[in-house]
Structure 1
Amino acid sequence: MNRYNLFFFFLILHVSGFTAKAQHKETATHKVHSIENGKVYIITQTKASYKIDSARYAVFIPEGITSINGVLIHQHGCTMEGRGMATAYDVQYQAFAKKWNLAIVGPDLYAKNNCHDWKNPGSGSADALLTTLNQVSVLAKIPSLKNAPWLLWGHSGGGYWSQAMMAAYPERVMALFSYSPGLNASFNYPEAAMQIPVMIRYAGPEGDACCWESAVRTFNELRKGDGMVSIALTRYQNHNYSFVRYMAIPFFEAVMQQRMPEKAASGFTAMRPIDRSKAWLGDTASLNIYPERHYPGEKLSASWLTDSITAVKWREYIITGTITDRTAPPAPYGLKLLRRHNMTVELSWKADADIESGISHFNIYKDGNLINRFPSSGIYQGFDTNGDNAFPMTVAPLHMEITVAANDTGKIEISTVNHFGLESAKVLCPR
């Protein structure tokens, strides 16, 4: 081989090696958005070896917390890319996170063939998530985020993905809520997955023609191994229409009360086992509910429920398609009143959403009489009944001007109203 051939030979080796390195190079971009209740870290992952084009995650961390007890991963379904970010800005989920010291993750997975590319963890969707949690743990200076257990929530193709993640990472999953799981979801679940409480919602063959078989199959696969799974048929709804958060949030809370590690740490902390003595079973035909030890029929055909409260809510959800909130929301706080000129003042305040049913609006009173509301029409924030995404995604700042004359000494009060029309205590604005 002459010297020119040798030159080109080594040049080809060099270029080939560079190309190989470039193909495996991972890139990540991030930005941080400070909001009223905390911070949202927006991370985008790309990697040539992924089957997906990119993965973007919006990660909400509540203000003032220094350790994370768990991570709610709210995975969108097929064709829902671009809307997952809304979960991190959802005031109801933010209140849920604040109560339990959780991080909230709203993924957006992008791929040429949509969910058929990202539905399996090996596509890069699992690696991108794990990489993001590691990066946010550093950015937020919260080491416990890296190994905190997961609350998985998935809709349709996202239901398939979340069930696949449970099969692949059972030691990381605290609970799973699968909303109309699709794409013929069926897995060889390991024994460890039988220790994870699971709830599956579907709308039956009439309202969920594409996916109801996946829901029933998953229920049967887990129950035959004595898995802790329930199934909820809301037959008057459909695949893309359900008030799932009203059932999913209390389901997650019941599980966390039993499974959450005693103390979060920077390393992995094992979750506590479920107390089977508290479990109830629900007859999927009659909807009668019983303590597990007293169930009169074939137990492995019944829905397994964490406790009596979950059992009651499961039955209500199947019958009505929702869970009625019967408690008032928390009252506003941090109220301020600033006079702008002789006839107007500016009110400002802070508020935590009702974990059960969010925030519809705020009422403004003067001397006990309702004089205004915020916003002036519509709602402060709601959610769609398809992907469970918050709207509007970014809520308006909590301040408004009202007419109050300079010599008017009447008392100004503000209250919060949730989506079931229940009102908090009125809080007085200091003068």
Structure 2
Amino acid sequence: MMKHLLLPVLLLLGVLPHASELFAQNPPYDAFPTAEPPYYRVRYDAGKEPGQLKYPVNYTIWIPPAAKQLRGVIVHQHGCGEGSCRSGLTGAYDLHWQALAKKHDCALLSPAYEQPDQADCQMWCDPRNGSDIAFQKCLSDLGEKSSHPELAQVPWALWGHSGGGHWAGGMVLLHPDRVAAAWLRSGVPLLKEDPKRTSIKAHTLPVGALSVPIMCNLGTKEGVTVKDDRFSGVWPANEAFFKEVRGQGGLVGVAVDPLSSHDCGNQRYLAIPWLDACLTARLPKTTGEALSPMPTSDVWLAQPTGSTAAPAVKFEGNALEAAWLPSEAIAKAWMQYVVDTKVADVSAPPSPTNVRLSGNQLTWESEADLESGLARFIIERDGEVLATIPEQGKNPFGRPLFQNLQYSDTPTQPLVAMRYVDDNASAAATYRVIAVNTVGLKSAPSEAATKAK
């Protein structure tokens, strides 16, 4: 853990050599969930020619089963280091992110770069080093495998953590016409050459990128309130990126997590609604059409490291120095998030479906609550509470989740199954399952299931 936590700082200092100079490829990256429809996977070996990706990479995608025509792809990009790269192998299986993808008829894609331990993250997190080409190739290949050829042409919504934030931001700057929105957690691309970070090549800021909604999200311990943390260089980099983009009228905001450092904390409870708002506004109704511009009538503004937002027409201060927020609803969620990350939710999760009892084993299916995900399930037998699955989800960084959570915001392996074994099941027993989201709201009970005769 310490090795991959320290890696971004070493990258900022420019002290890591290229992988090809000192490091051999060192798996395992071969422990991942199976990819059977609606999941699909491709893997590419490392390239040997200039401009090709220096590390092997897996791309796993989830396609909403009911989607006849995809309208976009949501990319969940892990950060630097072997631990974070391996965590990317489960990103496409995250039920909460799938709920966002399903709502908008989007695929959910999770890359997993097979970066050797302590190797140079820039060899993939700078998309100009081959990962841009590999990414676009995977969309074409996965489109063919999934019988969704439109995947190669649809817009992208990008989420990235640490080095993944460098990558997502870099893709905005390279392809602003393809990116519907980008959420950059603890990592941004460099816009001006920095003699202290000679290993990182600066990007240029095209005019088109100013129309792409971007959120810079980081932990307060990454240089905002704590100046001597190992990640204290993250805020100065974010601040420079924000000032450059916002100063030219870019649609960029800042959301400081008041509880965390370089981990992802509870960011998904703001990131998913924010991306939902951007996708609702920008995705074209017909595949192949251009992205729509963000509406301007309901924009709110806030001081980047403050806690209060106001409608743009009432904001007191320089608008081009203020964090941009797309709507009143997002502004209110932002104000909750930057105070204690307790983004409110009043909607109950969907009820579990397809509840079945085979022998002593109860199984079910369930979709996540878009706003608050899934924390646990309550099993009822004959109208009485029998069990809670799990009794306590595992997440050392924020709200407990049913699927548990890793450092780079992905489920743990092995994936948690929707299954319960009742050693005292009787032929006459009736079972129901209730979903509970991460703010404690319960779904209506599922339809009843009885033991098959």
TM-score, normalised relative to structure 2: 0.80
Confirm or deny that 1:61 pairs with 2:83. Answer: no
User: Pick from 299, 311, 323: which aligns with 1:279?
Assistant: 299
- CA-CA distance at 1:309 after TM superposition: 0.6
User: Pick from 119, 144, 147: which aligns with 1:141?
Assistant: 147
Task: Give the structure, 1 or 2, with the largest relative contact order (CA under 8 Å, sep 6 or more).
Answer: 2
CA–CA distance in 1 between the matches of 2:164 and 2:132? 12
State the Cα deviation string for residues 316-359 of structure 1 (Å, max 9, x = none).
Answer: 11111342433221101122344x3xxxx543322112222322
CA contact (8 A) 1:58 1:85 kept: yes
Confirm or deny that 1:103 pairs with 2:124. Answer: no
More strand by share: 1
Aligned to 1:233: 256
Provide closer, same or farther for how the CA distance between residues 356 and 308 of structure 1 changes in structure 2, counting only shifts above 3 A. Answer: same
- CA-CA distance at 1:371 after TM superposition: 1.5
State the Cα deviation string for residues 8-28 of structure 1 (Å, max 9, x = none).
Answer: xxxxxxxxxxxxxxxxxxxxx
List aligned pairs for 1:84-233, cutoff 5 A.
Answer: 84-111=88-115, 113-181=119-187, 184=190, 186=192, 187-202=203-218, 203=220, 204-205=222-223, 206=226, 208-233=231-256
CA–CA distance in 1 between the matches of 2:356 and 2:247? 58
List aligned pairs for 1:283-362, cutoff 5 A.
Answer: 283-284=303-304, 286-338=306-358, 340=359, 345-362=360-377
Confirm or deny that 1:263 pairs with 2:286. Answer: yes
CA contact (8 A) 1:39 1:63 kept: no
Percent of paired sites with the same residue = 29
Secondary structure of the corresponding residue to residue 46 of structure 1: coil
Aligned to 1:372: 387
CA–CA distance in 1 between the matches of 2:111 and 2:90? 9
- CA-CA distance at 1:425 after TM superposition: 0.8
Aligned to 1:391: 412
CA–CA distance in 2 between the matches of 1:41 and 1:374? 29
- CA-CA distance at 1:303 after TM superposition: 0.8
Q: Which amino acid aligns with 2:68?
A: T
Confirm or deny that 1:413 pairs with 2:419. Answer: no
CA–CA distance in 1 between the matches of 2:66 and 2:165? 32
- CA-CA distance at 1:77 after TM superposition: 1.3
Question: How many correspondences in the alignment?
Answer: 389
- CA-CA distance at 1:145 after TM superposition: 0.8
CA–CA distance in 2 between the matches of 1:54 and 1:185? 28
Aligned to 2:48: 48
CA–CA distance in 2 between the matches of 1:86 and 1:380? 14
State the Cα deviation string for residues 200-234 of structure 1 (Å, max 9, x = none).
Answer: 01224125413111111111011111100101122
- CA-CA distance at 1:136 after TM superposition: 0.7
CA contact (8 A) 2:104 2:280 kept: no
- CA-CA distance at 1:402 after TM superposition: 5.1
State the Cα deviation string for residues 83-115 of structure 1 (Å, max 9, x = none).
Answer: 112111112112222222111111122346331
CA contact (8 A) 1:86 1:390 kept: yes
Root-mean-square deviation (CA, aligned residues, Å) is 2.4
Provide closer, same or farther for how the CA distance between residues 282 and 396 of structure 1 changes in structure 2, counting only shifts above 3 A. Answer: same
Q: Which amino acid aligns with 1:188?
A: T
CA–CA distance in 1 between the matches of 2:377 and 2:141? 37
Provide closer, same or farther for how the CA distance between residues 317 and 211 of structure 1 changes in structure 2, counting only shifts above 3 A. Answer: same
TM-score, normalised relative to structure 1: 0.84
CA contact (8 A) 1:85 1:108 kept: yes
